[in-house]
Amino acid sequence: MTEEITLDTVMSRRFELVEQIAIIQGRQKMELEPLNEEAKLCELFIKDAMLTAGMQQCKTGAGMAFFTTKTSCTVSDWDATLAYIKEHDAFELLNHAVNKSTVAEYIEENKEAPPGVKFDSFKDLSWRRGRA
């Protein structure tokens, strides 16, 4: 006999699959942990040896390692940064973005988006397991 396909049976199956996926991901994470740790140790050894020798790059028969410059930029004092931007007309320092939550509040109050802002909203499924 074939089980009837209903919303309940499909939703139950979906939760079973999510649980199986989580179990496999947990096993995989545990299995990969020592390999990732060893890879980090290899990277630290090579980095230390290159820094000690003053090397920018290292080429061996096994491969090549080289330094690249990565950057990070965060604002530690927004008031000072904004004051500088306004005073020097340096708006190019800002990203072209608006705050989603604030725009949603604006739309709720004004029944339309602020001028020049496109706001999209869509329904998506969220999941919560029933009581066992």
Residues 12 and 49 in one domain: yes
Residues 61 and 84 in one domain: no
Q: Give residue 130's pLDDT band: very low, low, confident or very high (50, 70, 90).
A: confident
Instruction: Note whether 99 and 105 are within 8 A (CB).
Output: no
Query: Domain limits at 99?
Result: 71-121
* Per-chain mean pLDDT for the chain: 93
Instruction: Note whether 117 and 98 are within 8 A (CB).
Output: yes
Specify if 42 maps to a domain: yes
Specify if 18 maps to a domain: yes
pLDDT of residue 1: 64
Q: Report the 10 Å Cβ neighbour count for 55.
A: 14
Q: Rounded CA gap, 32 and 38, in Å?
A: 10
Cβ neighbors of 57 (< 8 A, separation 6 or more) are 50, 64, 65, 66, 67
Query: In the structure encoding, which two tokens stand for residue 71, read together?
Result: 């950057």
Tally the C-alpha atoms within 13 A of residue 114's C-alpha that lie toward its C-beta: 11
Specify if 128 maps to a domain: no
Q: Rounded CA gap, 91 and 88, in Å?
A: 8
Q: Rounded CA gap, 21 and 13, in Å?
A: 12
Phi/psi at 130 (nearest 5 deg)?
A: -75, 170
Residues 29 and 77 in one domain: no
pLDDT digits (tens, 9 = 90+) for 10-44: 999 999 999 999 999 999 999 999 999 999 999 99
What is the share, in percent, of the chain residues with pLDDT greater than 90? 86
pTM of the model: 0.62
Number of domains in the chain: 2
